[in-house]
Amino acid sequence: MSSLNLDDFTDLIERPDGGVRRDAEARRERRIVPPGSLGRLDDLGEWLAAAQSSVPVRAVERPRVVLFAGDHGIAGLGVSARPAGSAEQSVRAVLDGSSPVAVLARRLGVSVRVVDMALDCEPDALPAEVAGHRARRGSGRIDVEDALTLEEAEAAFLAGVAVADEEADSGTDLVVLGDVSVGGTTVASVLVAALCGTDASVVTGRGGLPIDDLAWMRKCAAIRDSLRRARPVLGDQLQLLATVGGADLAAMTGFLLQSAVRKMPVILDGVVSAACALVGQRIAFRAPDWWLAGHNSGEPAQAKALDRMALEPLLDHGVTVGEGAGALLALPLVQAAAALAAELPAAPEVPEVSKAPKAEDAKEPEEPEEPGAL
């Protein structure tokens, strides 16, 4: 019997503060720039103000890149251009500073945390702060077997919850969330197709290093076969992650939900974080209000998942490398929006007396209850 009750997240996750958002809008309307001339940056600044519950919005001072890493048994079918079980090499490139996300993080002065959830290497091959949360060595081949036992899925989910708590407790004010894996885009596509009720061909993309047409057909077949295993467990998200997910995806889902509980905004990266976010939305419908879509990675399943959550990608530059790189590119945009919202001069607020409300105007407007209605 599982002791984890995912339904608790529905109550634990509140919406970002609607009153603060209206105050932020009011502040923007008094600003001395042509209305609308900053486009979506106004929405972004107001979203962040609501997430922080602060007007003026505070600068994002302590962002962090958090990457969940794992290998996937499904990679053994030749659905990835990388050798199965080789995600450790990508992790090493992040740690030694030679990967794209490491270069960007250095330039932006952001630290990167990698969490090994299921790499296919000896647990002591990597530094203890990376390997400490590992749930198992490689997740199962999901077209024929479960990725994880239910106990492993629960442990991985809770590891993600614990990492979110550690980040929130240490003052991280925004997370850029990404993944490092081999085979991860196949698994993520299965989750998205299962939850959206679509066919394998609709969600099958080209993955990390682009795959050729033959590998694409193998990937499509693998997703189709895994989807058959996913359908019977669609109503139970932890079981779904155990059946066709993986330890890295279970951890990321726990991380996303606990980040929302802790009111810590997250920029999602590619198809893997989008798939976990979609699972998270099924668990707690208000959770996506705390997330931003950093970029469009071009994976069809990512677009599908983001559409379901009404999240619009901030950037679109064909970045398919994963590892949080595309989402990290969006961080300066979020920081720019915060600076504009906080620092552009605003005319003083109209004194309370001169806008004395009629009785019915004084009521707080009703909070919308539709998902994605923020």
Ligand X SMILES: O=C(O)c1ccc[n+]([C@@H]2O[C@H](COP(=O)([O-])O)[C@@H](O)[C@H]2O)c1
Give the angle subtended at the CA of 310 by the CAs of 306 and 311, to the nearest 5°: 55
Residue 174 in contact with ligand DMD, rule: CB under 6 A: no
Looking at the Cβ atoms of 52 and 90, the one nearer to ligand X is 90
**Cβ count within 10 A of residue 333:** 17
Looking at the Cβ atoms of 52 and 99, the one nearer to ligand X is 99
CA 315 – CA 318 distance, rounded (Å): 9
Q: State which of positions 176-215 bind ligand X (CB under 6 A).
A: 179-186, 207-208
CA 292 – CA 314 distance, rounded (Å): 8
166: annotated active-site residue: no
Looking at the Cβ atoms of 68 and 290, the one nearer to ligand DMD is 290
**In Å, how far are 68, 160, 208, 321 from 318, measured between CA atoms?**
22, 28, 12, 9
Where residue 197 falls (left for φ over 0; alpha for ψ -120 to 50; beta otherwise) is left
CB of 11 to ligand DMD, least distance (A): 19
Is the peptide bond between 56 and the residue preceding it cis, with omega within 30 degrees of 0? yes
Q: State which of positions 288-347 bind ligand X (CB under 6 A).
A: 297, 299, 302, 320, 322-323
Binding residues for ligand X, how many (CB under 6 A)?
22
Token digits for 189?
């596509």
Q: Which does 82 bind (CB under 5 to 8 A by kind): ligand X, ligand DMD, none?
A: ligand X
CB of 30 to ligand X, least distance (A): 40
Residue 291 in contact with ligand DMD, rule: CB under 6 A: yes
Query: Measured over all CA atoms, what is the biggest interatomic distance in the chain, rounded to whole angstroms?
Result: 72
**In Å, how far are 28, 37, 40 from 34, measured between CA atoms?**
10, 6, 14
Per-residue b or e along 246-262, where b marks 16 or more CB atoms closer than 10 Å to that residue's CB:
bbbbbbbbbbbbbbbbb
Q: Which does 165 bind (CB under 5 to 8 A by kind): ligand X, ligand DMD, none?
A: none
CB of 135 to ligand X, least distance (A): 18
Q: Which does 138 bind (CB under 5 to 8 A by kind): ligand X, ligand DMD, none?
A: none
Among 147, 222, 272, 329, binds ligand X (CB under 6 A): 272
Residue ranges with strand state E in 158-290: 174-182, 266-268
Among 25, 43, 225, 236, binds ligand DMD (CB under 6 A): 43
Residue 270 in contact with ligand X, rule: CB under 6 A: yes
CB of 21 to ligand X, least distance (A): 29
Binding residues for ligand DMD, how many (CB under 6 A)?
9
State whether residue 201 is helix, strand or coil: helix
Looking at the Cβ atoms of 97 and 232, the one nearer to ligand X is 97
Select which of 122, 323, 364, 367 is catalytic. 323
Residue 250 in contact with ligand X, rule: CB under 6 A: no
Residue 292 in contact with ligand DMD, rule: CB under 6 A: yes
Q: State which of positions 296-325 bind ligand DMD (CB under 6 A).
A: 311
CB of 148 to ligand X, least distance (A): 18
The closest alpha carbon to 252, from 317, 327, 303, 315, belongs to: 327
CA 20 – CA 271 distance, rounded (Å): 31
On whether the CB atoms of residues 205 and 77 are closer than 8 A, the answer is no
The site for ligand X (CB under 6 A) is made up of: 80, 82, 179-186, 207-208, 269-272, 297, 299, 302, 320, 322-323
The site for ligand DMD (CB under 6 A) is made up of: 43-44, 47, 288-289, 291-292, 311, 374
> Active-site residues: which are they?
323
